[in-house]
Amino acid sequence: DTSGFSKIFPGITPHILTLGAFFWVPFLREYVMSSGACSVSQASMDFLLTHRGKGNMLIVVVGGLAECSYSLPGSTTLFLKKRTGFVRVALHHGVPLIPAYAFGETDLYNQHIFTPGGLVNRFQKWVQRMIHIYPCAFYGRGLTENSWGFLPFARPVTTVVGKPLPLPKIENPSEETVARYHALYIDALRQLFDQHKTKYGCSETQKLLFL
């Protein structure tokens, strides 16, 4: 709770949802579980929203692995256009969607982008298909200043949170209903970004790009 979450959202218990493949790897699994993270599977989300009482907030990085290759300093690209599953789950349980964006998050590491379609890039995509983990060629800083390593750069990250988007409870929402609320969520996220971008290092002309 170093970010002061409990003071800003009293009575709310956050649950970070992450890739299920992380729970297959010894030691990594224990580390992830010790942080309180859960699998991003629908079964996990259904359990947290029905068997843990009220006041639970599910934190989903919707872009997932597909977004990793766009994570570069200065990048404001989100892989979201075809990700509608989280909207369907929210409608099924009748819980609101809360838009949030972390300014500076993509500045924590540098990443080498290999030529699209090249040998290394094809290998990355093959690994992603096989074990659902994208092997990024990233680097940060070391233990001493100006050294190379895997620690994140000491750069500020500011998370802004928008107003909840209320959703009706629909046990089996239609594709049209899911698409409508998905579009409303994207619009709310874009407005949130535009409202705060100049405060946290982005130019007035910078846009939030959805893929």
Q: Phi-psi region for residue 201, left (φ > 0), alpha (ψ -120 to 50) or beta?
A: left
Our CA angle for 17, 18, 21, nearest 5°, is 140
- How far from 196 is each of 36, 49, 53, 113, 208, CA to CA, in Å? 30, 31, 34, 28, 12
Tell me the H-state helices in the chain.
5-8, 28-34, 42-50, 64-68, 85-93, 119-131, 175-196
Range 113-129 burial, b when 16+ CB lie within 10 A, else e:
eeeeeeeeeeebeeebe
pLDDT at position 7 over 90: no
Domain boundaries, the chain: 5-103+157-210, 109-154
Residue appearing with tokens 């080498």: 112
pLDDT at position 21 over 80: no
- Residue 70: the pLDDT is 81
Q: Give 52 or 111, the one with higher predicted confidence.
A: 111
pLDDT at position 8 over 90: no
pLDDT at position 105 over 70: yes
Residues 6 or more apart whose Cβ sits within 8 Å of residue 77: 67, 70, 209, 210, 211
φ, ψ dihedrals at 81, nearest 5°? -60, -40
- Residue 160: the pLDDT is 93
The average confidence (pLDDT) of the chain is 88
Stretch 96-109: mean pLDDT, rounded? 92
Stretch 9-37: mean pLDDT, rounded? 82
Q: What is the pLDDT of residues 43-87, one digit of tens each?
A: 888 888 888 778 888 988 888 777 877 888 888 989 899 999 999
Q: Where residue 2 falls among pLDDT bands split at 50, 70, 90? A: low
The pTM for the full model equals: 0.85
pLDDT at position 94 over 70: yes
Q: What is the pLDDT of residues 169-199, one digit of tens each?
A: 999 999 999 999 999 999 999 999 999 999 9
